[in-house]
């Protein structure tokens, strides 16, 4: 793999500009670099979202929400729009789905994917989790998957979700605890450094440990909590972890004393494992009611 990996990955990840302000600035973390995606990066994320791992995750999310015909649903951090469009089929033509995302490149992808015939209208708008552009009590259900671990002011973001839900509305939050990762490597010390560097792209890599209290503090009643494991045994490029390798390789050089060569060697070590490759990571689902 060598130097070719760097050319394929480093170009599409960049630091969020510290000079850019937004209406939801409380959601930004000025202490660390988080990922801001250009068009190429957005398409690579979209490809990861179509892997069997993440397709199954969306099925679990939809099953937990138990959406019905006529419901109005909000997808916070809607990304490429796959979950929003799947939910549109469940609420039917008398329901509605709104997706909100701060990334224009993600919005372009989602807006370019029209809903199927016989499903709800889907609208994708630019916005911030801490300043949702919707009226109070607008939605019957809201979902935020892999969003709040990137948000500095999670209480403010959860309060916004609470505000736009009607009484009795459901809120589903899904985030990763990156401390749950198990990833086989021929160099355990290097793996620890790489994962420590990758944690720097997040505001809180262990957010699920605090979510029960955070949801309760803004007024939600906690219902179901569940772990959703991602397991890749044997290397396969059409998996979540295979896509993750590229993003990590691009992000970690210059952090935790890692060089570009260190990152490339780390990635090559993993992909060379073949049938002995092993990756496991837990995401945690919280279903709450207003």
Can you give the CATH number for the domain in which 157 is found?
3.40.50.150
pLDDT, position 5: 37
**Tens digits of per-residue pLDDT, 4-36?**
333 333 333 333 322 222 223 346 533 233 445
**Tens digits of per-residue pLDDT, 221-241?**
999 999 999 999 999 999 999
pLDDT band at 247 (very low <50, low <70, confident <90, very high): very high
pLDDT, position 8: 34
- pLDDT of residue 290 exceeding 70, the answer is yes
* DSSP-assigned states of every residue in 22-77: -TTGGG--SSS--EEE-HHHHHHHHHHHTSHHHHHHHHHHHHHHT--TT-EEEEET
In the chain, what percentage of residues exceed pLDDT 70?
86
Supply the range of the domain harboring residue 196.
4-289
Q: Is 21 exposed, middle or buried (0-12, 13-18, 19+ CB in 10 A)?
A: exposed
**Tens digits of per-residue pLDDT, 99-144?**
999 988 889 888 988 888 889 989 999 999 999 999 999 999 999 9
Instruction: State the Cα–Cα distance between residues 27 and 155, nearest whole angstrom.
Output: 10
- pLDDT of residue 1 exceeding 60, the answer is no
How many domains is the chain partitioned into structurally?
A: 1
pLDDT, mean over the chain: 88
**Tens digits of per-residue pLDDT, 28-70?**
533 233 445 555 666 778 788 889 999 999 999 999 999 999 9
pLDDT, position 18: 24
């Amino acid at each position: 793999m060598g130097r070719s990996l760097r050319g394929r990955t480093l170009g599409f990840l960049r630091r969020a500009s510290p000079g850019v302000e937004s209406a939801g600035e409380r959601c930004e973390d000025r202490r660390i670099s988080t990922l801001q995606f250009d068009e190429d990066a957005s398409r690579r994320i979209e490809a990861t979202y179509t892997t069997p791992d993440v397709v199954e995750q969306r099925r679990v999310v939809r099953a937990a929400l138990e959406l019905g015909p006529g419901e109005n649903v909000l997808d916070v951090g809607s990304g490429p729009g796959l979950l929003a469009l799947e939910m549109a089929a469940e609420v039917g033509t008398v329901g509605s789905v709104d997706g909100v995302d701060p990334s224009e490149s993600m919005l372009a992808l989602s807006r370019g994917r029209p809903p199927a015939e016989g499903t709800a209208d889907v609208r994708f708008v630019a916005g911030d989790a801490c300043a949702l552009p919707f009226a109070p009590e607008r939605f019957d259900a809201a979902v935020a998957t892999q969003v709040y671990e990137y948000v500095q002011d999670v209480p403010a973001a959860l309060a916004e979700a609470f505000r736009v839900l009607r009484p009795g509305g459901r809120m589903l939050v899904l985030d990763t605890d990156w401390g749950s990762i198990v990833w086989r490597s021929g160099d355990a010390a290097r793996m620890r450094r790489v994962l420590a560097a990758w944690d720097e792209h997040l505001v809180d890599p262990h957010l699920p440990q605090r979510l029960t209290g955070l949801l309760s503090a803004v007024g939600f009643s906690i219902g179901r909590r569940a772990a959703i494991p991602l397991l890749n045994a044997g290397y396969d490029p059409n998996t979540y972890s295979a896509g993750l390798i590229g993003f990590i390789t691009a992000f970690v050089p210059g952090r935790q004393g890692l060089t570009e060569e260190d990152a490339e060697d780390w990635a090559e070590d993993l992909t060379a494992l073949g049938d002995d490759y092993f990756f496991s990571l837990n995401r945690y689902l919280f279903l709450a009611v207003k």
